[in-house]
Amino acid sequence: MRYCASMKTASVRICLLLSTLSVGVAAQTCAPPVDLKTETDPARIQQQAIALLPCLGHPDFQLRDDIAFEQLSAWARGGKLEAATLQRMRTDLVAVLDAKPDGAGVHQPFAVLTLAEVARADRLKPFMTTEQRGELVVHAARFLSSVRDYRGFTPGEGWRHGVAHGADLALQLGMNEALSAAQRQQLLDAVSSQVLADHGHAYRFGEGQRLARAALQLQLRLQPDEAAVQAWLDRLLQPLKAAKAWDETALIDLHNLREFLWPLLAGVLDVTDAAQRERLLVPLQKTLRRLP
């Protein structure tokens, strides 16, 4: 916040001018205007939204999260961002996923979290083409399944939380009625691949809950029968069944599986459609009873 307060009017104008240039140039500049929360002019909101995108990779967590992401999320959820702005955000943020990760490991997780807001906006009021939406599904699945930096919150550095943010993007895409069953399955496979992390990291920042929420919404729309749900849960349980001893790896897997299955059960119990609820509930309860 001190960084923003120190800006002069000329710096703000330069920031807005740079936001109209290429992604490569804009990515070097993070200079948020001081009047973000009070801005009401629609045209300036569009400019400022684009100007905030580079800040999603800033090492200052207050600038990255408290200012840039929170404001972009508020504008997106408040219907303040035009289709052209959301398209620009999609293009720039997908480019972040295609690029080499930054040294601090913060840019891609926050690009993905912001893409979840873009996907949510598209779900409620479509603006993407079928091809663009399909491309985003591919990027979402690829990012989530490839996360190996499992840092959540680090004091003095803020959030990374790649798995949780990737799950949020999978959730918003998966709830979009325009997706095909194959695309939803691709997202579910990515979500499933992170339930046990790397068999060495124990989740402790709510990642299991975020994965469970995404998995539930995907399964509700895929509408598998009870046998298919049981087969899916059995695959998640397989590493524990194959463990020869209750060593550290097995105990971490058990911890992460519980972190996923209990929130999943809570979500299933809230499903209002009785038939869908039973198709998920019976195999889920059976799986939970098999856990030590």
Domain boundaries, the chain: 1-81, 82-290
From residue 287, alpha-carbon distances to 168, 183, 194, 252, 257 in Å are: 25, 26, 18, 17, 10
Provide the token pair at 104: 């601090």
pLDDT at 23 over 60: no
Tokens 């289709």 correspond to: 83
pLDDT at 40 over 50: yes
Query: Looking at residues 4-17, what average pLDDT do you find?
Result: 39
pLDDT at 27 over 50: no
Contact present, 104 and 145 (Cβ < 8 Å) = no
List, for residues 66-85, the tens digit of each pLDDT value.
999 999 999 999 999 999 99
SS3 197: coil
Query: Looking at residues 82-100, what average pLDDT do you find?
Result: 98
Query: Looking at residues 20-45, what average pLDDT do you find?
Result: 71
Query: Looking at residues 159-181, what average pLDDT do you find?
Result: 99
